[in-house]
Every structure is written in C-alpha cells, then in structure tokens.
Copies of this chain bind each other. A is one copy, B any other.
Amino acid sequence: MQGNCIHRLGDLQLRILQVLWDDGPSSVAAVQRATGEDLAYTTVATMLRKMEARGLVTHHESGRRYIYRAAVKRDEVTHGIADRLVDRLFHGSLTGAVNHLLETREVDPDELDDLERLIQRHRMRS
C-alpha cells in the first residue's frame, strides 16, 4: 500500500509480483511453478509471507490454502523503479536517460520509428 518504498524490490520479489500481475491471484504452488526458477516451495511461501508483511501482496483463504494477489499496481512499481533510476543516474533528466539507452543498446530502425511516433503522440497532448 502506502509509502512502502515501492522501488527497492529484490529480484525474487519483482519476479513474484510479475507472476501475480500476469496470472492474477495464485496459490503458492502456482506462483512457484510460474516463476520458472528452481526454488523450494517453502522459499516462495516464505517470500510471499514477507511480502505480505510489507504490504506488497495480500491473501485470502480458499479452503486450507492461501491465494495471493498483488496489492500494488504494476504501473506504480514500474514507475517507482524507473523514476528512481532516472533520478539516481541522470539527475532526473529524461533526455539523459534516453540518450544513454540509445547509445548503449542495439536499436534497429523500426524501433527508432516507434520512438518517433511516441514523441509525436506526446507532442499532440501538450
């Protein structure tokens, strides 16, 4: 929920949230399966419990088993993490960030087209 420092997620925590966002409410077993990684059942269960304590997920019972669901929105988290990065590395400069990404990644012309369209679309808006 609230000011929970939504950025600062470990790899496993993010992985689990992604499963819950993609697949919707899931049992521990389902999450374990969906992560694709080779983790003990109890590892996933423990992490889910820790995440619930932090307000990242909630659960309700279905029979004797817990069904977990994400308590934070994908956009919130993505936004939080991305913003934090832009601030930490580029002093909040979006241009700096995009520039760096363009410099250091392979970008094919199609992607450049996409980007240009994005910018056009944004220009309309303001």
Chain A binding surface, main DSSP class:
helix
- Contact between chains at B115 and A101 (CB < 8 Å): no
Q: Is the CB of B83 within 8 A of A82?
A: no
- Chain B residue at minimal CB-CB distance from A15: B88
A100 to B78 CA separation, bound complex (whole angstroms): 8
Q: Which residues of B contact A111 (CB under 8 A)?
A: 94-95
Q: How many residues of A contact B (CB 8 A)?
A: 35
Q: Is the CB of A119 within 8 A of B116?
A: yes
Closest-by-CB residue of B relative to A121 is B102
Nearest B residue to A89, CB-CB: B78
The answer, among B11, B82, B107, for a CB contact under 8 Å with A104, is B82
| Contact for A122 among B78, B97, B100, B112, CB less than 8 A | B112
Q: CB within 8 Å of B: which of A66-104?
A: 75, 78-79, 81-83, 85-86, 88-89, 94-95, 97-102, 104
